[in-house]
Structure 1
Amino acid sequence: MPAKTFVVQHADELSRVAQELIPLLHRYPVVTFSGKLGSGKTALIKEICRLLMVKETVTSPTFTLLNEYETSTGRPVYHFDFYRITRPEEIYDLGYEEYLFSGNLCFIEWPEMAENILLPDALRVNIETDNHKRRHISIVEPESTLLS
């Protein structure tokens, strides 16, 4: 299945991307967000959380590595940011398996820092910016589930 791609000019347009992602979260609770610094990874996660009616303020966990939220229905949401990860051991120290295999929502920024320990069936969101300050956001479903 080819990636579904959106072109977003302004942050207020992230809602339509988030609305496309939300139905996929039942099938893929682990979602990775890739893109350069400032590309809008956290902004998109904030919008997804807003639509999921997360109670807490959503912020980037760059320094804490993990923020925990809860939806209005009580479902946990785990928001990781691996930007500062320098060794895989740091991810193991977080107890990542407890989160990733919980069946709860896990949003992971900078997954490239931990590619070899992440689940192969994670939904992937790639964000690229162009010279006109537009974001090209691609949603890519895992290949392993496409074959079944």
Structure 2
Amino acid sequence: MKFQYSIEDIESVATAILEQATSMTLLFYGEMGVGKTTLIKALSKQLGSTSNVSSPTFSIVNEYEIKDGLIYHFDLYRINDEEEAMNFGIEEYLFNDQWIFIEWPEKLGSFLPEKFNKIEIKLNLDGSRTLKLSTKTNLTKQKAKKQ
């Protein structure tokens, strides 16, 4: 799924993502300031969170309550590599049955969950955004399971 939107359309974008998502793990890719956290705020609201959603740049993870569980919102911008993520226990978050939103997931290296949705956001010259939602499978994890 790929589409262009303006920031005023963020609620309908969030609805479309949740309708199309095939995983509860959403990985957000995009430059600084492209609107990853703004989109996560809209997604969290759609899922029923009444929390004040903000970027967990310094805490690394924020937790938001929703009716049927939790949302874990990660901002990995400040970590250096997957070893640092392991040190704060990210694997405990990744392998549960809750919503997981990760900004800067490239910092995880090969330590991605088995299945996830990848959301790429680009800022266009006119101020609109182009979003691409795709389903991904971590082939490294699948091969490890088979052995």
Shorter chain as denominator, the TM-score bin is 0.7 to 0.9
What is the deviation of 1:143?
Answer: 5.2
> Are 1:92 and 2:86 counterparts?
yes
What amino acid maps onto 1:60 in structure 2? S
Aligned position for 1:115: 109
> Are 1:75 and 2:72 counterparts?
no
Aligned position for 2:32: 37
CA-atom RMSD, angstroms? 1.5
Aligned position for 2:41: 46
What is the deviation of 1:12?
Answer: 2.1
- Counting only pairs closer than 5 Å after superposition, residues 15-30 of structure 1 correspond to structure 2 as 15-25=11-21, 27-30=22-25
User: Which stretch shows the higher mean deviation, 82-91 or 105-114?
Assistant: 82-91
Aligned partners of 2:20, 2:5: CA distance in 1, in Å?
20
After the TM superposition, which segments of 4 or more aligned residues of structure 1 sit over 2 Å from their partners? Answer: none
Superposition TM-score, scaled by structure 2 size: 0.87
Could you give the per-residue CA deviations for residues 39-82 of structure 1, whole angstroms, max 9, x where no partner exists?
A: 000000000011111021100001110000111x1411100001
Residue ranges of structure 2 left out of the alignment (5+ in a row): 139-147
Aligned partners of 1:113, 1:134: CA distance in 2, in Å?
26
Aligned position for 2:125: 131
What is the deviation of 1:139?
Answer: 0.6
Aligned partners of 2:25, 2:45: CA distance in 1, in Å?
18
Aligned partners of 2:137, 2:44: CA distance in 1, in Å?
26
Residue ranges of structure 1 left out of the alignment (5+ in a row): none
Aligned partners of 2:27, 2:4: CA distance in 1, in Å?
19
What is the deviation of 1:38?
Answer: 0.3
Could you give the per-residue CA deviations for residues 96-129 of structure 1, whole angstroms, max 9, x where no partner exists?
A: 1111110110000011111310124110000011
What amino acid maps onto 1:94 in structure 2? F
1:5 to 2, 6, 13: 2
What amino acid maps onto 1:99 in structure 2? Y
Aligned partners of 2:93, 2:110: CA distance in 1, in Å?
16
Aligned partners of 1:102, 1:49: CA distance in 2, in Å?
18
Superposition TM-score, scaled by structure 1 size: 0.87
